[in-house]
Amino acid sequence: MIPNDSLEYCHDSHDDKPHEACGVFGVFAPNEDVAKLTYFGLYALQHRGQESAGIAAFEDGRVHSHKDMGLVSQVFNEEILAELSGTHAIGHNRYSTTGSSHLRNAQPAIIDTRRGKFALAHNGNLVNTPQLRQHLDDLGCNFDTTSDSEAIALAIGVEVDSGKDWLEAIEEALDYCHGAFSLTISTPDAVYGVRDPNGVRPLVIGQLDRGGYVLASESCGLDIIGAKYLRDVQPGEIVRIDADGLHSNIWQEAKPKLCVFEMIYFARPDSRNDEESLYSYRIRIGQILAKESPADVDLVVGVPDSGIPAAIGFARTSGIPYAEGLIKNRYVGRTFIQPTQSMREAGIRMKLNPLKDVLDGQRVLIVDDSIVRGTTSRKLVKAIRDAGATEVHMRVSSPPVTHPCFYGIDTDTQDQLIAATKSVQEIGEQIGVDSLAYLSWKGMLDATNRNPDHFCSACFTGDYPIEVPEMLKRSKLMLEKAAKSQ
Catalytic site positions: 22
Measured CA to CA, the distance from residue 329 to residue 11 in angstroms comes to 17
Measured CA to CA, the distance from residue 199 to residue 155 in angstroms comes to 20
List all residues 6 or more positions away from 264 whose beta carbon is below 8 Å from its beta carbon. Answer: 282, 285, 306, 369, 370, 397, 398, 444
List all residues 6 or more positions away from 439 whose beta carbon is below 8 Å from its beta carbon. Answer: 285, 288, 289, 292, 395, 396, 397, 398, 399
Contact between residue 475 and residue 97 where contact means Cβ atoms under 8 Å apart: no
Measured CA to CA, the distance from residue 398 to residue 372 in angstroms comes to 11
Count the neighbouring beta carbons within 10 Å of the beta carbon of residue 228: 13
Instruction: Please give the C-alpha separations between residue 468 and each of 241, 406, 472, 477, 478, in angstroms, as whole numbers.
Output: 33, 8, 7, 13, 12
Among 75, 91, 76, smallest CA distance to 9 is for: 75
Among 448, 486, 464, smallest CA distance to 403 is for: 464
List all residues 6 or more positions away from 325 whose beta carbon is below 8 Å from its beta carbon. Answer: 299, 301, 354, 355, 358, 359, 364, 366, 384, 387
Measured CA to CA, the distance from residue 170 to residue 166 in angstroms comes to 6
